[in-house]
Amino acid sequence: MPENLSKWIEENLLIQNYKRKSLDGYKEVLNSLNLKKPKETILIGGTNGKGSLSELITKLALKKKVSVGTFTSPHLLNFNERIRVNDKEISDEILLDVLKRFNRYKESHNLNFYQIISLAALYHFDKSDLDLWILEIGMGGRLDPMNFIEPDISVITKVALDHQEYLGDTIEEIAAEKAEIARAEKPLIFGSENVPNAIIEKASKVNSFLISPEKKSYSINDFSKKRTVSREVLFCLNEVSKNSIFDFSSEITKKFLDDFEIFGRLTLFENFLVDSAHNEDSVRNLINYLDSNFKEKKINLFFACSDNKDPEKLLEPFEGIVDKIFIADNIHQRLMSSKKVLSKTRSLKFNFIVKDSIKSLYSIAKDNNINELNLFIGSFYFSGEFFRCLLEIKNLPISIDSLKEVL
């Protein structure tokens, strides 16, 4: 076994995630598993909010003593976070075993790595004999490996522009991809008031029960002081709870929502705010949060984005809010180089300061005035490397449990 299995997976296998492959081989291997259907399966897609919704439902299930398998992506610190049983990460030993089990089909059945880890998760859940499976769609829906599992409830939290190179250039094109998780005679929950036509048409075509909020039917201020749960996620959570055979409704209290935290989503400690906003919609939500909570504070912006993103569109909303932006190289292989960030943001009137590592950025932030807010944004990978740096400085194990101790 590699000394650090998670790091080895990231460096050697994870980069293959989105290389498209035929689904025929995947379906053949999936069918050969003869998976036992759990009491309930929830399939969760959407541009933003699906990770938060998956975590919230997982916590509700545990409160009701419902055994649950949760599959999410991406991870923050360790790859094992993606596959959890009763909120406990899959062990290195079991993870390596299931990856080996399905990696042998890579060539013969033309599988990409995301298909392999999907098979690994489903196999692990099946062997764990669980009541509930929560399966997060990685991107889109139509071609996602998890879309070949029959859900009892399908959810699309929100549709916004993201991954256009794979899903299409318009909201309707992206919505059409995501709508493919709808199933006949089953609920299809959509979190926003303005439902794209593609979702309405798909629900009608397959006779799915489309559930969406009425305009102005609820307010974000009604439920969460910290606003770490979006209104779209809240609506989906309430509707999942009401439509689930386990009926989690009684567990959704104001305290439950206010206590909820997911690292890398509006994570506030000391004078740091770490948020993985990585598309235009999530940046707009972040700007609104800053305007409501830190309007009078000076903000120091630290930024990194994935190599396939448009940094100009992500940073433009910060004009007039910040004047300097700190960026760095050598953070993560999937993050854009400083040279590329600078070349793509020439039209923006920011003073960019380039450093050589995440530790350099952290040191600058620590030296800033305690009354100023250090904002780290742009990518889950950036958030993860920030937290990794924090734990290494404190000589703590790189894990979510360690973060809970520190933050």
**Same structural domain, 228 and 321:** no
Question: What's the CATH code of the domain at 343?
Answer: 3.90.190.20
Question: What's the CATH code of the domain at 12?
Answer: 3.40.1190.10
CA pair distance 215, 231, nearest whole angstrom:
12
Count Cβ atoms within 10 A of the Cβ of residue 245 and give its class: 0-12 exposed, 13-18 middle, 19 or more buried.
Answer: exposed
**Same structural domain, 249 and 275:** no
Condensed to tens digits (0 to 9), the pLDDT of residues 46-104 reads: 888 899 999 999 999 999 999 999 999 989 999 999 999 999 999 999 999 999 999 89
pLDDT band at residue 407 using 50, 70 and 90 as cut-offs: confident
- How much is the pLDDT for 164? 57
Domain boundary among 259, 282, 315: 259
- How much is the pLDDT for 327? 97
- How much is the pLDDT for 388? 96
SS3 401: helix
Domain boundary among 213, 231, 259: 259
**Same structural domain, 65 and 207:** yes
**Same structural domain, 162 and 279:** no
Measuring CA to CA, which residue among 256, 322, 318 is closest to residue 288? 318
> Which alpha helices (DSSP H) does 260-337 contain, by range?
280-293, 311-315
SS3 294: coil
pTM for the structure as a whole: 0.92
- How much is the pLDDT for 168? 60
CA quadruple 349, 351, 357, 362: dihedral, nearest 10: -110
Condensed to tens digits (0 to 9), the pLDDT of residues 157-190 reads: 988 765 555 556 688 888 988 998 999 999 999 9
Tokens 């703590």 correspond to: 396
Residue 42 main-chain phi, psi, to 5 deg: -120, 125
**Same structural domain, 97 and 186:** yes
CA pair distance 271, 358, nearest whole angstrom:
17
**Same structural domain, 122 and 244:** yes
Q: What is the mean pLDDT of residues 309-334?
A: 94
- Beta partners for residue 82, in sequence order: none
Q: Is 103 left (phi over 0), alpha (psi -120 to 50) or beta?
A: alpha
Cα Dmax for the chain: 60
**Same structural domain, 248 and 170:** yes
DSSP 36: P
pLDDT band at residue 221 using 50, 70 and 90 as cut-offs: very low
**Same structural domain, 101 and 138:** yes
Condensed to tens digits (0 to 9), the pLDDT of residues 362-373 reads: 999 999 999 999
DSSP H or E run through 301: strand 299-303
How many domains does the chain divide into? 2
Q: Are 116 and 103 in contact (CB under 8 A)?
A: yes
Domain boundary among 215, 237, 259: 259
Q: What is the mean pLDDT of residues 123-142?
A: 92
DSSP H or E run through 324: strand 324-328
Measuring CA to CA, which residue among 131, 145, 69, 76 is closest to residue 385? 76
**Same structural domain, 350 and 376:** yes
Range of the domain at 348: 267-406
Q: How far apart are the first and last CA of the chain?
A: 31
**Same structural domain, 322 and 200:** no
**Same structural domain, 251 and 276:** no
DSSP H or E run through 40: strand 40-45
Amino acid at 393: I
**Same structural domain, 222 and 345:** no
